[in-house]
Amino acid sequence: MKILMVSMNSIHFRRWSEQLRNSGHEVFWFDVLDQGYAPSMSWMTQITDWKKGFLKSRGRTLFKKKLPTLFNFLSNRFDHRVDTVFEKTLKVVQPDVVHSFALYVSCTPIYNVMAKFQQIKWIYSSWGSDLYYYKNETSYLEDIKRILPRIDFLFTDCHRDHQTAVNLGFSGKFLGVFPGGGGFDLEFIESQTIPYTMRDVILVKGYENRSGRSVKVLLALEQIADSLSNFKVVVFGAEDPAVLRFRESDIPNIQIHHLLPHKKILKLMGSAMIYIGNSNSDGMPNTMLEAMCAGAYVIQSNPGGSTEEIIENGTNGSLINDCEDVEQIKSVINKALLSVEHRSKAVSFNNNELAPKLDRDLVISQVIDAYHQVAEG
C-alpha cells in the first residue's frame, strides 16, 4: 500500500512513522510546513523544499525579521501554496491512502484537495489538544465539522477524543487508541532506571503556555517547602519567566532546566520518585506514559477525563481534577508524599500491568494491523 503522510516534523511524527519501516508499505512524507529534509527519516520518500518562491537559498529569516511587512507581501505573492503543491504531489504519488497528523496543521490546508479526490482514503491522527481544546473556538469548530465527515479512518491517543470526533461528525472507521508516537522502548527505559526505594526526585514538567500549568504545581510545592528538605525538585522544559523565577524560591534543592534531549528526560524519569504534569488541555500525555514506564509515581491533570482512562485515582497514580487550584494540587502532592506504601504498590502495578501494554514492539504490531484494516477497507 502506498501511504502519503502529511505532517510537520516532530518527535511524535518521527516515532510514529518509524513503526512503518520494513512494514512492506511504500511510505511518502509531505512536509506540510516545509521544514526541510530529515536525515532520520531517509528510509521514506520525502517531499520537501517546495514552498519558497523567492530567496530560495539564504536570507529569508533575516529578511523576515528586518522587513516583515514586505516579506509577507512577497511570500503571499511568490511562495507556493500548500494545496497547489499537495495536489500535484497527490497526482504524482497516486497513494492508496493519505494520513494526516493533527487537524489544523495537516488536515485543514489540504481539505479542498481531498474533497476533490473522494476515492482516496484519508486517515486522521488526533493528538493532544487537537479536538478537545479547539472545539471551543468558533472558527476552529467550523473547520472540525467540515473536515471530520470526509475522514475515513481515525487514530486517537485517548477514548475521549474518539467520542468527541463522533459527536462532531466523524462516521468512518475507528482504528484504535495509541500513544501519539507509538509505543516505548522499555528495554532502554529500564536501563535508565534506579530502584524505586533509592529515588528522591520530584520531577515536574515545566510547561507554562496555552495549556501548561506548571506554575500552579510550583506554587503548591512552595507552600510545602518545609516537607521537601529530603527531596530534589527537578523541573524540565521550562522557558517561561514565571517558571524560571522559582530558581529563587523557598523550594529546597530545586533545579530548573530548559528544554532537554529526550534521553536526558528519560534518565530523569528513571530517578524520579514522583512525576507531576499539569495542563488545562491534553489528550493522553506521552510524557506521563513514559514516566509511568520508567517507574515513577505519577500525579497528572485530567482534562475532559482523558487521564483517568489510564490512572485510577488513588490506585496506580493520582489525578489533579482542577489544574488551576493550588490548594487541591498541594493536597494531592502531600498525600502522595505521605503514602509511601501506596506509591510503591502503584509503581509495582504499573511496571507489571501497564508498561507491558505500551511496549514498542507490541504497539508496532497493533499499528501495522490497523493499516492492514485500511488496505482491506
Q: How far apart are CA 166 and CA 150, in angstroms?
A: 12
Phi, psi of 219 (to 5 degrees): -65, -40
> Quick check: 71 pLDDT over 80?
no
pLDDT, tens digit (0-9, with 9 covering 90-100), for 91-109 = 999 999 999 999 999 999 9
Q: How far apart are CA 23 and CA 352, in angstroms?
A: 29
- Here the cell at position 174 is 475507528
- Here the cell at position 239 is 522557558
pLDDT of 53: 66
Phi, psi of 372 (to 5 degrees): -60, -35
Tell which residue, 232, 229, 233, 201, has the closest CA to residue 218: 233
Segment 265-289 shows an average pLDDT of 96
Count other Cβ atoms within 10 Å, centred on residue 235.
26
Check if the beta carbon of residue 228 is closer than 8 Å to that of residue 221.
Answer: yes
How, if at all, do strands 232-236 and 297-301 pair? unpaired
pLDDT of 21: 96
Percent of the chain with pLDDT over 90: 88
- Model confidence band, residue 222 (pLDDT cutoffs 50, 70, 90): very high
pLDDT of 92: 97
Tell which residue, 263, 258, 267, has the closest CA to residue 208: 258
DSSP H or E stretch at residue 274: strand 272-277
> Quick check: 67 pLDDT over 90?
no
Segment 357-365 shows an average pLDDT of 98
- Give 348's contacts (C-beta < 8 A, 6+ positions apart): none
pLDDT, tens digit (0-9, with 9 covering 90-100), for 243-269 = 999 999 999 999 999 999 999 999 999
Strands (E), 133-245: 153-156, 173-177, 201-205, 232-236
pLDDT, tens digit (0-9, with 9 covering 90-100), for 145-167 = 999 999 999 999 999 999 999 99
- Give 149's contacts (C-beta < 8 A, 6+ positions apart): 169, 170, 171
> Quick check: 319 pLDDT over 80?
yes
Q: How far apart are CA 184 and CA 179, in angstroms?
A: 9
Check if the beta carbon of residue 8 is closer than 8 Å to that of residue 35.
Answer: yes
- Model confidence band, residue 52 (pLDDT cutoffs 50, 70, 90): confident
How, if at all, do strands 232-236 and 173-177 pair? unpaired
Helix (H, G, I), strand (E, B) or coil at 141: helix
Q: Sheet containing 2-7: give its strands across.
A: 45-47, 26-31, 2-7, 97-101, 121-125, 153-156, 173-177
pLDDT, tens digit (0-9, with 9 covering 90-100), for 225-236 = 999 999 999 999
Segment 35-55 shows an average pLDDT of 89
Average pLDDT, rounded, for the chain? 94
Tell which residue, 45, 44, 47, 38, has the closest CA to residue 21: 44
Map grid coordinates 499539569 to a residue: 278
Segment 17-21 shows an average pLDDT of 97
